[in-house]
A and B are shown apart, each in its own frame.
Chain A
């Protein structure tokens, strides 16, 4: 429990991390929260199988990936950004903008490949705008990305208006493209989004936990000043993280378009907070400097499992949000319980004295 961040005042960014300065092995640091997540995951799998007879099936595995895959993919760059103590609330709008551009270009007779490349490029441009405003101009990321959230969604709206692509009179998307969203990867029962998520998670995990670059993200999140004096190019790294986030979210937008075989400007609208929730439930500290890719992967798996279980129990998707919220709340409250107990013990001592 000693690694829990103890803000000097509620909600304030701690000036000095309460983390022990003694270097602990990585697995030891990871052990606490991730072990809890594994238990929760096993619990939710048992819960799912006991509540629904059709839960233990490959269909569940496939559709779980379809439902949660593209959100989970966006949670990976989000997690990297949150580790540096910034945030990107524009992810879902970026997804929408890339999908809208893809649809618009397709509508105007572009080939699928040029349109896909353009959609990825708009992600890079959008990410660069975020990165410039946050890293170079030094503006608060939460305000900047609320602005670009509105801006990117607005661009999607300008591109597509109220039409859905492909509409009447449009070519439909190539079959190989739309198949990505509806068939499993050959030889497995996993959706393409699941496999892509796993691949990206492995890359993120290696980069974050096993390279100097990855370690420097933690340094930035814990103490940006110290990181700068240690020779870490804080602004440049943050800039490229936002570009990466833009690219990956644009990619998620392409996947969602393939999955739906169509696109409208409001695709993925409002999902940004779900993405943040997955990252935070995975044990990433909103103050930066703390969190593992494994935690985020487990968190995404838990959310997908619970969603599938509750959907099979015919629970309204809106009501399911109670569970997601409760998990998120537990994820911050439980680790603080030890400190709270110590605090009330100290208080009791004081009042006796």
Chain B
């Protein structure tokens, strides 16, 4: 996992045309896998390529993809955020509850959800950076605390569809030119954050921090500030995910988002985000989420039995990290031999 597989591959960049570089990117592999799974399933079951089925694919992947964006930003800095699932659940319920008791305007539902999520992220970030304790422990603790608070608030009084404004639920099922709103929102987030992570210096700092924390500190990067920002973003996106969860399902109990955290990490890892930081892109994580969901729904379409889903998803995850490792070793070897050739000259 030490390969310089960050979006800009410094070794190959100059001589290689743009198209070839795009094809060599880690994300291209994930995308190709998505297409292969999609086509293979479609050959077996033609309905899989139908409009509504594709819509389902996109919607099904969107929440994990959205959370995967924030998770990637955190993992890239060599941290982890396990609280995203609980945060999503809390935000979904609080917004739903405000809709039924306070009749707040529809737009404010999104704002409140993002604000709550960002607050949770800020707590995670503050404790991790200020007290300097491992984020895995902090966010694991927050996973339980937030889920507990959520359960306390819900207290059996679940939000049902009739209590959520119609305009809000519309976000969950309406489409533009056949593309679900949900997918558009998530795609917009992926593209914006992906562009920022590729282009702007503070975002590039995240990669530096994850690659080599000491070097990053020596280079004058304000690590604590950057890591804090990554956690806040992750929390905010989990909050947005909560609002979208409410819009999609229109029904929230205290199990909303339960167990999402490991799915999100899995999607990021499948999409090429190195678990020890320093490399990986948000586009990759989103494609990882799409791949896992395509396989899952593809299996249902082909076998009409879902019992094999998890086993295959697990096998795929293991394959993804193994292949990643092999590629990393190959890159390392080719770098070494290139260095050797240079010396001989």
Contact = CB atoms under 8 A, between A and B. Distances in A.
Contact of A270 (B131, B258, B315): B258
A153 interface: yes
A146 B269 contact: yes
A280 B305 CA distance: 39
A7 B144 contact: no
A135 B41 CA distance: 36
B1 A11 contact: no
Given A8-B213, A149-B314, A154-B313, A318 B148 contact: yes
Contacts of B262: 89, 146, 149
Contacts, number: 188
A147 B318 contact: yes
A203 interface: no
Given A9-B216, A287-B134, A336-B131, A147 B317 contact: yes
A328 B137 contact: yes
B132 A147 contact: no
A111 interface: no
A317 to B, nearest CB: 8
A333 interface: yes
A152 interface: yes
Interface residues of A, number: 57
Interface stretch (A20-28, A137-145, A239-247): A137-145
B294 to A, nearest CB: 16
B42 interface: no
Contacts of B209: 9
A340 interface: yes
Interface in B133-149: 133-138, 140-149
A133 B318 contact: yes
Given A9-B213, A151-B315, A154-B313, A336 B141 contact: no
B311 A155 contact: yes
Nearest to A322: B148
A85 to B, nearest CB: 11
A158 interface: yes
Contacts of A39: none
Interface in B238-268: 254, 258-259, 262, 265-266
B311 A158 contact: yes
B128 interface: yes
A56 B134 CA distance: 37
B315 to A, nearest CB: 6
A321 interface: yes
A137 B325 contact: yes
A142 to B, nearest CB: 5
Contacts of A188: none
A8 B215 CA distance: 11
Interface of B: 1, 77-80, 82, 127-138, 140-152, 155, 209, 213-214, 216-217, 223-224, 227, 254, 258-259, 262, 265-266, 269, 275-276, 305, 307-315, 317-318, 321-322, 325
Given A12-B78, A324-B144, A340-B132, 17 more contacts: A8-B217, A9-B223, A140-B321, A147-B266, A147-B314, A147-B315, A148-B318, A150-B314, A152-B314, A277-B141, A280-B137, A286-B134, A318-B254, A322-B152, A325-B145, A329-B141, A333-B133
